[in-house]
Amino acid sequence: MNSIERHVGHRLRARRLALRMSQTDLADVIGVSFQQVQKYEKGTSRVSASTLQALAGALNVPVAYFFEGLPHGAAEGNGADTEWAEFLAMRDGPALFKAFRNIESEQVRRAVIDLLGRLGTRH
């Protein structure tokens, strides 16, 4: 699996989830099966140019959106950008991002970060 397909897939999933659109709904709009959308999101299936254009239209983003954060001309994505795309592609990623962004108090935000850090080390 190529890192570019993976990056495009993460961006696709993040945008779809941000719009609260199901894979089936997106598949219906662009004329493919929901299984194909799953393959696009996982990066296991390449997205053709015409399908990329259809996805951009269905998700109300420019085609360039899918490549944002990918170093220009590079096959390997920036680690931080890839982690960010992976975070947003998680089921709860967009909701967590929005909830955190809405916390006005810097002190409360720091407390949330500290709590999440402690919870993340407990396995």
Q: Would you say residue 77 has pLDDT above 60?
A: no
Q: Which residue has the higher pLDDT, 82 or 96?
A: 96
Q: Where are the domains of the chain?
A: 3-90, 92-123
Q: Taking all residues of the chain, what is their mean pLDDT, rounded to a whole number?
A: 85
pLDDT of residue 76 exceeding 70: no
Confidence band for 3, pLDDT divided at 50, 70 and 90: confident
- pLDDT score of 38: 95
Q: 112-121, pLDDT tens digit by residue? A: 889 888 888 7
Q: What is the pTM of this model?
A: 0.62
Distance (Å, whole) CA 82 – CA 76: 9
Q: What is the pLDDT of residues 57-66, one digit of tens each?
A: 999 999 988 8
Instruction: Please tell me the total number of residues recorded for the chain in this structure.
Output: 123
Domain spanning 3-90: which CATH class is it, in words?
Answer: mainly alpha
